[in-house]
């Protein structure tokens, strides 16, 4: 994972020029995925995985209709709350805001191609790996004679 920090003016310029595959403002911060970076990796035959929110996923689906969207869902709101509180990195108000947002996000999970319930990390990871592998571009070197 590579982060690039941009001045607000540069971020605005990239938005206006279509330089982001997706971007969003989340909890007062702006995040985005540079279109050029994704396209460069795809031209090299690599599978690109983005960890983005539903707002970004909608933008990606619009710009790249062949993208495969995977929604990672918590097993329950009780467990999600426990996980957020267990981090110890957010205030109670921030946790409530995240939980409120999670309700809205779960309502659109059925618009994704796949939904993985993250109740067991090993199983969820295996399921994601199978999805990625099944949609990975085939290369001539992958083919068996």
Comma-separated ranges of CATH 3.40.50.300 domains in the chain: 68-145
Q: Which residues, at least 6 apart from 64, have a Cβ–Cβ distance to it below 8 Å?
A: 21
Give per-residue pLDDT as tens, 48-89: 999 998 989 999 999 999 999 999 999 999 999 999 999 999
* Residue labelled with tokens 């605005």: 12
pLDDT computed for residue 145 by the predictor: 44
Q: What is the CATH number of domain 68-145?
A: 3.40.50.300
- In the chain the beta strands, taken as DSSP E runs, fall at 20-26, 29-34, 70-73, 114-117
Comma-separated ranges of CATH 3.30.63.10 domains in the chain: 1-50
Lookup: tokens for 110? 């059925």
Q: Poorest-confidence range of 16-25, 79-88, 136-145?
A: 136-145
Does pTM surpass 0.95?
no
H/E stretch holding 86 reads helix 77-87
* Nearest in space to 8 (alpha carbons), one of 22, 40, 23, 21: 23
For range 39-46, the mean pLDDT: 91
Q: What is the CATH number of domain 1-50?
A: 3.30.63.10
pLDDT computed for residue 139 by the predictor: 57
The angle formed by the CA atoms of residues 126, 130 and 131, to the nearest 5 degrees, is 120
Band of pLDDT at residue 3, cut at 50, 70 and 90: confident
Band of pLDDT at residue 27, cut at 50, 70 and 90: confident
pLDDT at 142 over 80: no
């Amino acid at each position: 994972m590579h982060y690039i920090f941009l001045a607000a003016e540069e971020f605005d310029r990239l938005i206006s020029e279509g330089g982001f595959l997706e971007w969003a403002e989340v909890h007062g911060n702006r995040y985005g995925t540079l279109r050029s970076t994704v396209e460069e990796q795809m031209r090299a035959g690599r599978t690109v995985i983005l960890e983005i929110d539903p707002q970004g996923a909608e933008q990606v689906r619009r710009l790249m209709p062949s993208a495969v969207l995977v929604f990672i869902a918590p097993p329950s709101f009780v467990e999600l709350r426990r996980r957020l509180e267990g981090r110890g990195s957010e205030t109670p108000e921030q946790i409530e805001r995240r939980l409120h947002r999670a309700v809205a996000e779960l309502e659109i999970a059925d618009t994704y191609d796949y939904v993985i319930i993250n109740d067991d990390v090993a199983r969820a990871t295996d399921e994601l790996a199978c999805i990625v592998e099944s949609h990975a571009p085939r290369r001539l070197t992958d083919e068996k004679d």
